[in-house]
Structure 1
Amino acid sequence: MEPQETLRSGRQENANSPRYEGPLSLAKSLSAFALASGDAAQFTRDGPRADVEYRDLGLAAATNGRIGVKHVRAIMPLPGPTGWHWHDMTAHFVFVLKGSLTFRFAGIDGDIVVAAGSGISQPAGVAHNVIARSDDLELLEINVPAQYGTFDLAVSKDASQP
C-alpha cells in the first residue's frame, strides 16, 4: 500500500502538487547531506572584512554553490563604516546570534538596527552600509548564490544615502 501524502506546510501556490516526483532517494537528492560540526568547521579570516572571521557551514558544497551559509563573528572593533556597497546575489539573509549591527539601505529612511534574536532579509542588489556593530557580534549569513561579487560605491562612507 502506497503511503498517503498530505501537505503539512509550505508553499501556497500549487500546494497540492509537488515541484518534482518524490520522495527522492539520497542518490537523486537535489542537495547533498551535510553536517556542520563545530569541531570540523573552523573559523578563518578568509573573507572580505579584516575585523571579523568566518566559518563556512558547508551548505555551498552541499548545494553545488546555490546557497552559502557562514557563521561570522567579530574579532576586533569595527574600524568605521564599511562604506556604501552592494552584492551581486539574488538573496541575502542575516540572523544575529549575539550583539547587534546597524545598517543603512539605499531607499530606506533611517538606521536599521538588527539585534540578537532578529534577522533581516537584505534587499538583493541594493546598496547598503554597515555603520556600527557591537564588538561581540556573531551572526549567520545566508547568501544565494554562495559565491558573489561585492561592489563599492564612490560616495562618502558617512553619507546617509548613496
Structure 2
Amino acid sequence: MASVLTADKPAATPAKKKQAWASSKSPKFVQGRRAFFKYRELGVTEASDGSMRAQVTSATQGMSRPTGWHYHVCESQLVFMLSGWVDLEFEDGERIRVEAGDSLYIPGGLRHNEIGTSDTFELLEVSVPADMGTVPCDAPTK
C-alpha cells in the first residue's frame, strides 16, 4: 500500500540531506568546466549529499569559439537563462538560442555544442547528480 503524505505526516528526509541557503552578499565561487566562465555554487551539492548541483554561471565576455561537441555523464541538466543568451546545436541538427527567461532541459548523454553567447550572460544550471562529467565527442554526421 502506498504511503499518503499529509500536512501532519511529511515525507521522510534522508539523514544525509539538509537545507541549503546561499546569500548573494557572500557568494561562493568554484572552478567549473570552462575557464572563461564564473561559477557560483549555491550549496545544493553539499546539502543534497551529491544528488543534485545548482549553480549560477556568468560571463563577462562572449565566447570566442564554440566549446566543441560533447555530452554530459549525468541523469539530467536544466538551464534557466537569467540574462543574455547562449546558442547551441544538438545531434539531431537543431540549433536554438536560449534567451533570458527561457529554460532548457538536456538529458544526460545528449551530444551538443555551445556555439556562441552574448557578451555577458547569467544562467542558473541544475544537474542530477551533482558530479556531472563532460566527455568530448565527434560531431554528428549530417
TM-score after normalising by structure 1: 0.76
Once residues 77 and 113 of structure 1 are traced to their aligned partners in structure 2, the CA distance between those partners, rounded to angstroms, is 14
Distance 1:61 1:90 in 2: 18
Question: Cα offset for 1:110?
Answer: 2.9
Per the alignment, in what secondary structure is the counterpart of residue 43 of structure 1?
A: strand
**Structure 2 residue runs without a partner (length 5+):** none
Q: Secondary structure at the match of 2:66?
A: coil
Q: 1:87 aligns with which of 51, 57, 72?
A: 72
Measure, in 2, the Cα distance between the counterparts of 1:50 and 1:75: 12
Report if aligned partners of 2:28, 2:42 keep a CA contact under 8 Å in 1.
Answer: no
For 1:78-117, what per-residue CA distance to the aligned partner results, in whole angstroms no more than 9, with x for missing partners? 020000000000010000000011111112x331111000
Deviating beyond 2 angstroms after TM superposition, the runs of 4 or more aligned structure 1 residues are 28-31, 39-44
Aligned to 1:6: none
Matched, 1:70 2:55: yes
Bigger relative CO (Cα 8 Å, ≥ 6 apart): 2
Distance 1:125 1:22 in 2: 38
Report the counterpart of residue 148 of structure 1 in structure 2. Answer: 132
Q: What does residue 135 of structure 1 align with? A: 119
Task: Kindly tell me the number of residue pairs found equivalent between the two proteins.
Answer: 136
Q: Residue 149 of structure 1: CA displacement? A: 1.1
Return the letter of the residue paired with 2:125.
Answer: E
Give the fraction of aligned pairs with identical amino acids, expressed as a percent.
34
RMSD of aligned residue pairs (Cα, Å): 2.0
Q: Which structure: larger Rg?
A: 1
Matched residues in 1 for 2:20 and 2:49: separation?
A: 12
| CA offset digits 1:110-158 (Å, max 9, x no partner) | 3111100010001221110000111111000000011121100144xxx
1:118 alignment partner, one of 102, 106, 127: 102
Report SS of the residue matched to 1:139: strand
Greater CA drift, 64-73 or 116-125? 116-125
Give the corresponding residue for 1:40: 26
Unpaired runs of 5+ residues, structure 1, are 1-13, 156-160
SS in 1 for 2:45: helix
TM-score, scaled relative to structure 2 = 0.86
Change (3 A) 1:93 1:148: same
- Give the superposition deviation at 1:17: 3.3
State the distance in 2 between where 1:144 and 1:116 align: 23
